[in-house]
Amino acid sequence: MMNWTQRIVLLALALSMLGLTLELIRRRRLREEYAVLWVCTGIMILVFVVMPNLLFILSGWLQLDRTVLMTFVCFLFLAAIVMHYSVVISKHSEREKHLAQELALLRDELEKLRAEMREAPPMPAAPKPRPPALRT
């Protein structure tokens, strides 16, 4: 069983974790979208600090040693966070690719228009509209 000093230290840690998350959002350095996991983490720690018996009950149910249980829970949590990041990175590399391609094609289009302008400066025929960008 935890003594009061331990509980206070852990409580302070959990609260500062939550505080840090909120502060980062407030300063616009962390988007809410990505902060959800961190808020959840903070709340989880808070719950276990306030009700440490929960851990005993859980380990009793699952017939698992408390340390094994905690290690397992921590691992799952970190794995979930890393998985979330992989998804975000995949999304961003797809977007980055799309943007680079659009940029290259638009620059080519611009060069073509410039060349046309040089050839026939007054009233060029209205160029064919470009099809709308594909959604990917």
Return residues touching other proteins (CB under 8 A): 93, 96-97, 100-101, 103-105, 107-108, 130-132, 134-136
DSSP type of residue 31: -
For residue 102, give both structure tokens. 């659009």
Q: Could you tell me where the DSSP H helices lie in the chain?
A: 4-26, 32-50, 53-62, 66-119
Q: How far is the CB of 17 from other proteins (least distance, A)?
A: 36
Spell out the residues 6+ positions from residue 10 whose beta carbon is closer than 8 angstroms to its own: 2, 45, 49
Place of tokens 């408390």: 66
Q: How far is the CB of 128 from other proteins (least distance, A)?
A: 9
Residue closer to other proteins, measured from CB, 78 or 99:
99
DSSP type of residue 68: H
Q: How far is the CB of 115 from other proteins (least distance, A)?
A: 12
Q: How far is the CB of 61 from other proteins (least distance, A)?
A: 36
10 vs 16: CA distance, rounded Å: 10
